[in-house]
Amino acid sequence: MSFIYRTRYVSTHTLPLLSLSQVVVGVVVESCGYSGGSGLGLSPSLKEQQQQQPRARLQRMESVPPVSRVAIFGGTHGDEMSGVCLVRHWLSDAGEVAAEISRPSFSSTPVMGNPRAVQHCTRYIDTDLNRCFTHEQLAMEVKEDTPYETLRAQEINRLFGPKGSDKAFDFIIDMHNTTSNMGNCLIVSNSADIVVLHMARYMQDICKSAISPVFLNEMAGVERCYASSVSKHGIGLELGPQPQGVARADVLIRMRKLVTTALDFLHLFNTGHEFPAGSLEVCRVTERIDYPRDSHGNLTAVIHPDLQDRDWEPLHPGKPVFLTLDGATVPYKGPSVTIPAFINEAAYYEKGLAFWATQREMLHFPALRVHGQASQAHI
Amino acid sequence: MSFIYRTRYVSTHTLPLLSLSQVVVGVVVESCGYSGGSGLGLSPSLKEQQQQQPRARLQRMESVPPVSRVAIFGGTHGDEMSGVCLVRHWLSDAGEVAAEISRPSFSSTPVMGNPRAVQHCTRYIDTDLNRCFTHEQLAMEVKEDTPYETLRAQEINRLFGPKGSDKAFDFIIDMHNTTSNMGNCLIVSNSADIVVLHMARYMQDICKSAISPVFLNEMAGVERCYASSVSKHGIGLELGPQPQGVARADVLIRMRKLVTTALDFLHLFNTGHEFPAGSLEVCRVTERIDYPRDSHGNLTAVIHPDLQDRDWEPLHPGKPVFLTLDGATVPYKGPSVTIPAFINEAAYYEKGLAFWATQREMLHFPALRVHGQASQAHI
């Protein structure tokens, strides 16, 4: 759909490992530390030469069809209470969609993602719903022992998809909570989706420092399996820290602000506003780090106090990551600095994940406007 | 077993409602605000006259049999991870009890309270185990549909009780976590248990400001139903804030300190140390406050940001307690100032409990020493 120009921020430790092929396909590796600076391991003239061609392509204007149907999911995980409370509230509004999520240029549909899990205030009944939206699972034959969440994913796909088709809803906003200190995190799963990138940048502009870095959960060769992948475009809102099964007012207020800001963006887009070319810093997942465990799979260590709650802060090799039950400190053994995310998320213990290692990357993308409408204004 | 002299701290609002009968049975009501001060609504001479008789009885020395068997429970709720991790660690120590919990004068037994719930990382399987230890449930006939936790409670009663008998274990320390900002809270369920009161005061002395007020969960006419009620003496350790299913290192470290301090106390007691007469401030539960709910029982409001995380801080009538989903503030409607506890605990949503209202009360108790041993030292 669009051309995205990437600048990847890595430490100087990894620079020699990267080949010129990454430049050829449009990825330029810069060594910048962790503040988005410009310190580059290449000479200025070579840098300019490499960037000239892809950057020229950013000058074009992308036009994309308007958004007509938007679904706002909560309770995709049944114990993440911000979304559960908000969807229930919007659905209870005398059968009409609450004014809070109504916009004149599109329909908004609040959806309780996993109603049975919500009823039991648990993440899921049989399996994690938010990993069920692969084409394979969506096409799976239903048997007696088919997990509830597979059935529900297929139902959601019928109602809001089919995934990857022209009939699919235009946008899904999926509300999540985490026990990690992730702040107001936006989750993007497709770095080629220019509408989502513009939305994220708009939300950063409106909410300023209240927005955490964007978490880019995109891995080569891995199909997107989230509920938000059923629609043409989708974004996840991941707010923390909040315990499972608890609704905190401060997190609820932040969630409302993010949802309404996302809807405002879509309405602006629909009504012809032009969004200029721009950039977005993201943290791209690179590696999953698990806890030390015994032969039974039980934890023999917990997140070290020096790392706890330090999501998004650079983690250097040799710095503490775990504290064993015997009192020993386990250092980070990665080859270079990483940006940890989802540190000590409750639901990830069973997934073998103590935190995600990520790398900063800068995405540059062209201007955006709605297809088929005259331009109204730059914002 | 012992005579406990109570001084109850209440606001002046409630003073006229209390009758002289409470003085006769040994309870003297003082109006002191919230800092344990001495402002009294009665004249000094009357006050002295009322307190003379009960206080005189505090001069005696209570002697109590030594403690020979101590059980340390974790995972009574399967998703409260401090206790789960510690019990698993102690049990994994090559079949021997870890030195950390060993003391020369008694045996220590780590116990996984609800192993099946631990396996599923959930609070319970069928029903809350820590409400199953009433004599009625412990004597209940086993049928096909008997809840798993009833069976487990009966098993625990066989292993560590029978409750109320001479054969019961001497002491159970039960480790819990809460999502509420309760700090390092000690839970006492029997204000007549002088060993537990002395232990709590000792732990406050050793841990100083790290200990929160003691939560006295004792209600007239209500049988104690906790796991810690199976043994002759028992105490609950309730540490927060920590999400369900998450093990935080800082909370784990605090839990270890409390457990080892409690064991140190028991060893000192066993070895003949005399503990002088003293006092302990407790917060006695007075009322359960539920969330505003709709006709289906679903929440229509959450804890107000002004109250969130303010466990143990005085809550005045008219101050905010809830924020509705419509944005309205619901004030506290109680008749007088209360001390809220367990604000926004995840597991209490289903119990119809947004927080406990409590009142401060001062318990005065006589000196303690072990029965049948010569005195060694005052501490």
Whole-number pLDDT of residue B55: 62
Residues A49-93 have pLDDT tens digits of: 445 555 656 678 899 999 999 999 999 999 999 999 999 999 987
Whole-number pLDDT of residue B228: 96
Q: Tokens 């969609």, residue?
A: A97
Strands (E), B220-295: 233-239, 273-274, 278-289
Secondary structure of chain A: what % helix, strand, coil (to 5)? 30, 25, 45
With CA atoms as reference, the chain A residue closest to B256 would be A325
Give helix then strand counts, H and E, for chain B: 8, 18
Inform me whether the C-beta atom of residue A89 falls under 8 Å from chain B C-beta atoms.
yes
Contact B346 A245 (CB under 8 A): yes
Q: Is the dihedral of CA B186, B218, B201, B22 positive or negative?
A: positive
Whole-number pLDDT of residue A158: 98
Q: Tokens 């037994």, residue?
A: B109
Residues B237-259 have pLDDT tens digits of: 999 999 999 999 999 999 999 99
Inform me whether the C-beta atom of residue A244 falls under 8 Å from chain B C-beta atoms.
yes
Residue B110 has pLDDT above 80, yes or no: yes
H/E stretch holding B246 reads none
| Residue A239 · residue A86 · CB < 8 Å | no
User: Residue B56 — very low, low, confident or very high, per pLDDT cuts 50/70/90?
Assistant: low
Least confident segment among A169-173, B4-8, B220-224, B367-371: B4-8
User: Residue B367 — very low, low, confident or very high, per pLDDT cuts 50/70/90?
Assistant: very high
Inform me whether the C-beta atom of residue A91 falls under 8 Å from chain B C-beta atoms.
no
Least confident segment among A317-321, B51-55, B344-348: B51-55
Inform me whether the C-beta atom of residue B88 falls under 8 Å from chain A C-beta atoms.
yes
Which residues of chain A have a CB within 8 Å of the CB of B323?
249
Residue B100 has pLDDT above 60, yes or no: yes
Inform me whether the C-beta atom of residue A325 falls under 8 Å from chain B C-beta atoms.
yes
Can you tell me the ipTM of this complex? 0.87
Average pLDDT, integer, range B277-284: 94
Average pLDDT, integer, range A307-331: 97
Residues A33-44 have pLDDT tens digits of: 443 333 333 334
Mutate to test the interface with A, among B118, B179, B256, B325 (most CBs of A within 10 A): B325
User: Residue A29 — very low, low, confident or very high, per pLDDT cuts 50/70/90?
Assistant: very low
Inform me whether the C-beta atom of residue A85 falls under 8 Å from chain B C-beta atoms.
yes
Distances (CA, A) of B253 to A92, A345, B304: 44, 19, 30
Q: What is the mean pLDDT of chain B?
A: 86
| Residue B230 · residue B167 · CB < 8 Å | no
Residues A274-302 have pLDDT tens digits of: 999 999 999 999 999 999 999 999 999 99
Residues 3-22 of A with CB under 8 A from B: none
Inform me whether the C-beta atom of residue B347 falls under 8 Å from chain A C-beta atoms.
yes
What three-state secondary structure class fits A187?
Answer: strand
Contact B302 A85 (CB under 8 A): yes
> How far is it, in rounded angstroms, from Cα A330 to Cα A287?
18
Side chain identity, residue A369: R
Residue A15 has pLDDT above 60, yes or no: no
Contact B245 A248 (CB under 8 A): no
Which residues of chain B have a CB within 8 Å of the CB of A324?
none
Residue B227 has pLDDT above 80, yes or no: yes
Contact A249 B308 (CB under 8 A): yes
Residue B189 has pLDDT above 50, yes or no: yes
Average pLDDT, integer, range A10-21: 33
Alpha-carbon distance A179 to nearest alpha carbon in chain B (angstroms): 7
Residue B40 has pLDDT above 70, yes or no: no
H/E stretch holding A83 reads helix A81-91
Contact A305 B347 (CB under 8 A): no
| CA-based radius of gyration for chain B | 21
Q: Which spans in chain B are helix H? A: 21-24, 44-56, 81-91, 115-120, 135-138, 148-160, 194-207, 249-270
Residue A32 has pLDDT above 90, yes or no: no
Which residues of chain B have a CB within 8 Å of the CB of A121?
349-350
Which residues of chain A have a CB within 8 Å of the CB of B247?
299, 302-303, 344
DSSP sequence for B8-72? EEE-TTTGGG--THHHHTTEEEEE-TTTT----SS-HHHHHHHHHHHHHGGGSEEEEPPP-EEEE
| Residue B62 · residue B194 · CB < 8 Å | yes
Alpha-carbon distance A246 to nearest alpha carbon in chain B (angstroms): 5
- Phi and psi at residue A196, to the nearest 5°: -65, -40
Residue B238 annotated among the catalytic residues of the structure:
yes
Whole-number pLDDT of residue B212: 84
User: Residue B373 — very low, low, confident or very high, per pLDDT cuts 50/70/90?
Assistant: low
With CA atoms as reference, the chain A residue closest to B88 would be A298
Q: How many Cα atoms occupy the beta-carbon half-sphere of B378 within 13 Å?
A: 5
Contact B245 A249 (CB under 8 A): no
Whole-number pLDDT of residue A177: 98
Output B42 or B162, whichever has higher pLDDT: B162
Q: Give the tokens for residue B365.
A: 């108790």
Q: Is the dihedral of CA B17, B23, B27, B30 positive or negative?
A: positive
Inform me whether the C-beta atom of residue B181 falls under 8 Å from chain A C-beta atoms.
no
From the list A121, A122, A247, the residue facing B302 with the nearest CB is: A247
Q: Which spans in B211-289 are helix H? A: 249-270
User: Residue A6 — very low, low, confident or very high, per pLDDT cuts 50/70/90?
Assistant: low
Residue B248 β-bridge partners: none
Maximum separation of any 2 CA atoms in chain A, in Å: 67
Q: What is the mean pLDDT of chain A?
A: 86
Which residues of chain B have a CB within 8 Å of the CB of A88?
298
Residues A102-158 have pLDDT tens digits of: 999 999 999 999 999 999 999 999 999 999 999 999 999 999 999 999 999 999 999
> How far is it, in rounded angstroms, from Cα B46 to Cα B119?
59
> How far is it, in rounded angstroms, from Cα B165 to Cα B107?
19
| Residue A363 · residue A5 · CB < 8 Å | yes
| CA-based radius of gyration for chain A | 21
Average pLDDT, integer, range B181-189: 97
Contact B247 A299 (CB under 8 A): yes
Residue A335 has pLDDT above 70, yes or no: yes
Inform me whether the C-beta atom of residue A86 falls under 8 Å from chain B C-beta atoms.
yes
Active-site amino acid positions of A: 238
Q: Give the tokens for residue B299.
A: 């929440």
